[in-house]
Amino acid sequence: MASEICLVLHRKSANEPAVKEAVKHVRGKGIDLRVRIPWNKKDKPRAVKEALVDGAKRIIAGGGDGTINAVANALVGRGKKPPRASMGILPLGTANDFAHGCNLPVADLNRCLEIACCSRPRKIDVGRVNSRYFVNVTSGGFGAEITATTPIEMKKKLGGGAYTIMGLIKAFNLEPYEGRLLVPGEEPQEGAMLLMAVGNNRLAGGGFEVAPKARLDDGLLDLAMVRHQPEMQLTRLAAELKTIDSPDNRYLYYRQLAEFTIESKRDVHFNLDGEPTRKNRLKFSVLQKHLGVVF
């Protein structure tokens, strides 16, 4: 039988008692919820497509930010027209940055799944980097390298704190990335960065507000970049983080842009909504109010 609501559930969460209770809770309210459990990461797009073929009008991403990214990419497809189904969120990850940024009651899975099934979707922007899409944050440089090299077991034990701890360990070996920023209609900006974040939403790395001014429906992506300078003063950088768009900032560069490109002389670690990759050229753009998301 077809169902208009389908939960695409991360395989490792399928036997969690709290997840089973949440599914039982919404079904007890008369909601016809189908559940699909992809075998692995590559199987998630197929699960979404099969649910759409079966008539699903709402796909709920049950997992962390990586699962949300996979479901969003499967729904957006080539991005030529808005998806015919909306996306809900059942936050089951380590950090759940996108869910927190949407102010969902992350600690209450029953309520989150009820919201995902019953509330009206809101149209949000979708960020694009090269041929991939993201709804939360793409981070690059030192921060993404930390995320990519943090052991999974440590993430589970320490939660968002794992990113900070690994960061302290790695801090002694920072190497800046030489490159340039290309903005349409502006002269190229040459320089070196330590880390960057491109935010469609505010939070990344376990609850850090990396793009404080980001809004999901403003048609812009927020670029926050820490530029490398000889003999950096950490106290000044800390102060600049509180005045993100001050013209007097020396280290922190913050812009809201609809389109830009970042080029690096060597491959940079990047993290797209929890999915690691490495590139030396990234072209960013935004699909305005393209995807319906329930939160």
122 residue type, one letter: R
Residue 117 pLDDT > 90, yes or no? Answer: yes
* 146 and 117, same domain (yes or no): no
Helices 44-53/65-76 angle, 10° precision: 50
H-only helix segments in 197-274? 234-240
For residue 61, list its beta bridge partners. Answer: 8, 89
Cα distance between residue 211 and residue 98, in whole Å: 12
Cα distance between residue 266 and residue 182, in whole Å: 17
* 188 and 287, same domain (yes or no): yes
Cα distance between residue 41 and residue 66, in whole Å: 9
Cα distance between residue 277 and residue 115, in whole Å: 32
Domain that holds residue 160: 134-293
Q: How confident is the prediction for the chain on average, in pLDDT?
A: 89
* 288 and 196, same domain (yes or no): yes
* 281 and 151, same domain (yes or no): yes
* 253 and 221, same domain (yes or no): yes
Residue 1 pLDDT > 50, yes or no? Answer: no
Last residue of a domain, one of 92, 125, 158: 125
* 102 and 171, same domain (yes or no): no
pTM for this entry: 0.87
Last residue of a domain, one of 93, 125, 157: 125
CATH number of the domain residue 12 falls in:
3.40.50.10330
Residue 162 pLDDT > 50, yes or no? Answer: no
* 22 and 90, same domain (yes or no): yes
Higher pLDDT, 273 or 47: 47
Cα distance between residue 245 and residue 289, in whole Å: 25
H-only helix segments in the chain? 17-28, 44-53, 65-76, 97-101, 109-118, 142-149, 152-158, 161-170, 234-240
Q: What is the pLDDT of residues 49-101, one digit of tens each?
A: 999 999 999 999 999 999 999 999 999 999 999 999 999 999 999 999 999 99
* 139 and 217, same domain (yes or no): yes
For residue 187, give both structure tokens: 């002269």
Last residue of a domain, one of 125, 157, 189: 125
Instruction: Check 114, 145, 240, 275 and give the catalytic one.
Output: 275
Burial 178-214 (b: 16+ CB within 10 A, else e): ebebbeeeeeeeeebbbbbbbbbbbbbbbbbbbbeeb
For residue 262, list its beta bridge partners. Answer: 181, 282
* 173 and 101, same domain (yes or no): no
For residue 5, give both structure tokens: 């609501």
* 15 and 142, same domain (yes or no): no
Domains in the chain: how many in total?
2
Q: What is the pLDDT of residues 207-216, one digit of tens each?
A: 889 899 999 9
Q: What is the pLDDT of residues 148-158, one digit of tens each?
A: 555 556 555 54
User: What is the sign of the dihedral through the CA atoms of 21, 25, 26 and 27?
Assistant: positive
Give the confidence band of 172 by pLDDT, cuts at 50, 70, 90: very low
CATH number of the domain residue 242 falls in:
2.60.200.40
Residue 187 falls in the annotated catalytic set:
no
Which uninterrupted H or E stretch holds 208?
strand 208-209
* 88 and 160, same domain (yes or no): no
* 265 and 138, same domain (yes or no): yes
Judge contact between 87 and 291, C-beta under 8 A: yes
Output the pLDDT for position 165: 44
What residue has token string 């920023």? 181
